[in-house]
Structure 1
Amino acid sequence: MLKMAGNKSYTIVEYFGGDCGYRCGYCKNDEGNFSHGMWSHTMTVQDYQDLIDRGWRRSGKYVYKPKLDKTCCPQYTIRCHALKFQPSKSHKKVLKKISKFISKGELPKGQDDGEPMDSVCDEAGPREPSTVCHSELKCAAIADIQKELPECPAITEVQKEVVDGAPVDSEKSRKDPESVADERTTAAAPKPGMGADPGRPQCRKAKDLRKERRLQKEQIRQHADGDSSIVSPMPPTAAQTKQPKPLEDFINESLPDNSSHCLEAEHSPDGPEVGYGSFHQQYWLDGRIVAVGVIDILPTCVSSVYFYYHPDFASLSLGSYSALREIAFTRQLQKQSPKLSYYYLGFYIHSCPKMRYKGQYRPSDLLCPETYAWVQIEQCLLQLENSRYARFNQDPDAGDPRVLKDVGRALVLYRRAVMPYAAYSRKRKGSSDETEVQQYADLVGQDSAERILLYRA
């Protein structure tokens, strides 16, 4: 579905108004869910980055934006600051549960702790248009047009650029995870801890620490008595500068050596050095695939698309475990691409208690539905307790920085030619689609409307 960003890459979409309501998978309202939708024939990673920063999200090739002021269960885009993330007590509990299972082979009793993933809620996602909007004939025409447009590397459906080895077949792994066992490439599992970290200060004896504190107090007293030779107190001790244990240490501890089981996580392939786009993360237990996650690696974030797992291992809380692994993966990628520092968890749905778990990955922000500014989730929760729909930005003068100013500059694709909508309107005198195009351009924003090609029949 996505394309690598290039100098002459194009996104090609068809837009649907989305005026009709459909069944909500969260509250089960038969006609309470409303969203705008686009069918994406191809899309650059930068265009998708800009779209998700305006509240859009993809399901396969279908890209949708909930109508937050109308839908029964408003869905707000949420992102976690991956570099600042610290696992909570519940996250550490999940990692300990995984560690106990791997080391002793004991599955926890009962079901998981209640961490529904978006992919499990089949009815919660968008309803694709019932019209033949992406028929084989039209797709063939689009393919012909793409051949004539400037070439750029493609990521269609769940496809990506690969340097070493062939990409994973998305359809095959989605329908039958075990069928890809013979096709997988070998990847090193995260190595377990190797003892004390040489990069950290060593533990010091209590006697030495007390002696150092006494010396500090004496120096401070002398300074207070007017001794100018004392410039400043002693630097902080090792105990005072102790940093929280990073997420990676907790993950590695959950993968002990000489255990009853072996759990490996594989990335297909391994990040921006081989291109941005859509990737699989596969979880293998003793050589058997037990879970698969799909992520989009974009210019400033890793976006979680969906995740599914074998029902026999539901009690292991694999959904939470995969999120922690993906946050760690984001931190790893940031070392190669400094701007890539966020982990997007999809939508946060406060009106559905079972979907509030995403707010536990902090620090995190929610996207203001009116100004598209990011606001700390702590501030947003106070508003959402009082109203399902809320404008999070408290500045009354703030507006959409990419507000639509001139629909005539929006690009359209008409009869294999790229042109501004103003030129298209002159060619199609009496055209009645201006309201639809205006709505589309307003939703994607002026900048995106001038880059994305809106297909016109």
Structure 2
Amino acid sequence: MRHHWLHIKEMYSIVELKGVKFGYRCGYCGNAGGKASYGMWSHTMTVQDYQDLIDRGWRRSGKYVYKPLMNKTCCPQYTIRCHALNFHPSKTHKKTLKKVNRFLSKGEMPVEKHDEGREGEPMESVHEEGVQPPPQDPLKIDHSDVQDISPSPDTDTANSAAPTTPRDDAEKTTAVTPKPGKGADPNRPLCRKAKDLRKERRLQKEQQKQQEAVSSSVNPSPAKSSSNQPKSLEEFITESLPNDPLHRLEVRLVPVSFEDPDFLASYEQSAALYACYQMTVHGDAPYECGESQFKRFLCDSPLEAEMAPDGPDVGYGSFHQQYWLDGRIVAVGVLDILPFCVSSVYLYYHPDFSSLSLGTYSALREIAFTRQLQQQSPKLSFYYLGFYVHSCPKMRYKGQYRPSDLLCPESYTWVPIERCIPRLDISAYSRLNENARAGDAHALKKLGRVLVLHRRTVMPYAAYARKRKGSNDEKEVEQYASLVGQTCAERILLYRA
């Protein structure tokens, strides 16, 4: 009856609780014991279940899936998403794209180190205790007695810590000490405030645009009207690149699978790049970033690869987006492609190219990639940047990718970041949804309907509790179910020994 077990694996996500972790070191503020999170080990997970979990504030590191305890941790971490279709690059973003293109075209390598997008962002629990794989994998057991679930009376059918980039449009001011004199020169025009001058220039520009609009309606000029359209992100990415550039950059999407020939062929080079990055940028010791760590955190994924009729051509699952420069890998973005989004997991790159701002550059490429996937799958329109940490200034750079939303930690609704920042300026932890009546639409209501996997059998928790009379795990299961929400609790299998 092995096919029954395979059927269950394909249908369900399977998780094993690790519970609450209190008092461990925070990678954002450095507090030795201020971090608090809830975690579980995911043996396998469907892309839809993970999509629903990250929309409740969860995130994965390898197969370890965790949720910050927002009102208890020292640096609350808010899930952030960017509306990829409406994204327009800022001046800083455009500068980064031009900088990379100048390097590709002419070999110009900037000396100064600018914005580094995701550099230095702590990878959750990489060096923490308590997140080791379970000693006994519940999937590696005798599968002969597995049963299919059937309705019962208990159930109804139902991601671099970048310094904040200086604003490119900030005005540079120089203090000037006025010389003593007799007052204003009557032969010169009166001094005017810079604010008034800017307002006047803005009005002049608006009048000029109106005149041009009237002129074009009388004598339409296709060339002029097209030039008035703002350039797209994709145009900035390829702008000024000659047909035969000095350096050739190729971006390849490779599924994270040891059965994939492209992934296998590039595995050793990719692992060596990861070690080089971690030791140089993060100061890791060699034993902290060896092949086993690389495989565990950036190659092992609980997500089951999936193809769907309405999904993108590449399918759903975990991928490495490799940046090949002149035939070698110089950067890798680790991505999860989910039903509604591209989720950024991690980025590592060769330190020799740090002045090219590869953190920012890769994020922009990933937004463009999301837009590309959306043309194939209309519902896939968001780019998730992991966590936004307002209490950590060097992590606020994620708020520059706009329009973007933050996830309210109480109602699990999305709120535009502009409305969130004033609240977060006052308190590191805040309910972001201003509507006090807005509640959690997927709050736990029926504990008995939580699905568990016990002795190779899928059953509702109510049936499990009757079988295990005297079991004292109700509070543990209730906490888990409240954090994943009723919908996920009725789909994901909670492993019970």
Alpha carbons 1:16, 1:129 under 8 Å: kept: no
Say which of 248, 265, 272 aligns to 2:234. 248
Q: In angstroms, what is the RMSD of aligned CA positions?
A: 3.0
Give, in whole Å, the separation in 2 of the partners of 1:213 and 1:428: 82
**2:415 is equivalent to residue 371 of structure 1:** no
Give, in whole Å, the separation in 2 of the partners of 1:272 and 1:338: 9
Give a deviation string over 1:274-331, Cα, whole Å, max 9, x none: 4200011000111011001111000000000111001111111001110000000100
TM-score, with length taken from structure 1: 0.76
Give, in whole Å, the separation in 2 of the partners of 1:312 and 1:286: 14
Give a deviation string over 1:59-103, Cα, whole Å, max 9, x none: 000000001111111110000000000000000010011011111
**2:401 is equivalent to residue 350 of structure 1:** no
User: How far 1:44 moved relative to its partner?
Assistant: 0.1
The equivalent residue for 1:31 is 33
Give, in whole Å, the separation in 2 of the partners of 1:320 and 1:244: 21
SS for the counterpart of 2:45 is strand
Alpha carbons 2:118, 2:347 under 8 Å: kept: no
**2:69 is equivalent to residue 67 of structure 1:** yes
Say which of 462, 465, 478 aligns to 1:422. 462
Alpha carbons 1:98, 1:254 under 8 Å: kept: no
The equivalent residue for 2:444 is 404
The equivalent residue for 1:169 is none
Alpha carbons 2:116, 2:359 under 8 Å: kept: no
**Structure 2: segments with no counterpart, 5+ residues:** 1-6, 149-207, 256-306
Alpha carbons 2:78, 2:387 under 8 Å: kept: yes
SS for the counterpart of 1:400 is coil
User: How far 1:149 moved relative to its partner?
Assistant: 7.8
Size of the aligned set, in residue pairs, is 376
The letter of the residue matching 2:424 is L
For residues 228-377 of structure 1, the aligned pairs below 5 Å read 239=225, 242-253=228-239, 255-268=241-254, 272-377=312-417
For residues 70-219 of structure 1, the aligned pairs below 5 Å read 70-117=72-119, 120-122=120-122, 125=125, 130=130, 134-135=134-135, 137-139=136-138, 141=140, 145=143, 213=215
Alpha carbons 2:107, 2:246 under 8 Å: kept: yes
Change (3 A) 1:133 1:265: closer
Alpha carbons 2:9, 2:44 under 8 Å: kept: no
User: How far 1:132 moved relative to its partner?
Assistant: 6.1
The letter of the residue matching 2:134 is H
Give, in whole Å, the separation in 2 of the partners of 1:402 and 1:138: 30
Give, in whole Å, the separation in 2 of the partners of 1:148 and 1:291: 44
Alpha carbons 2:410, 2:431 under 8 Å: kept: yes
The equivalent residue for 1:454 is 494
Give, in whole Å, the separation in 1 of the partners of 2:453 and 2:103: 55
Change (3 A) 1:15 1:258: same
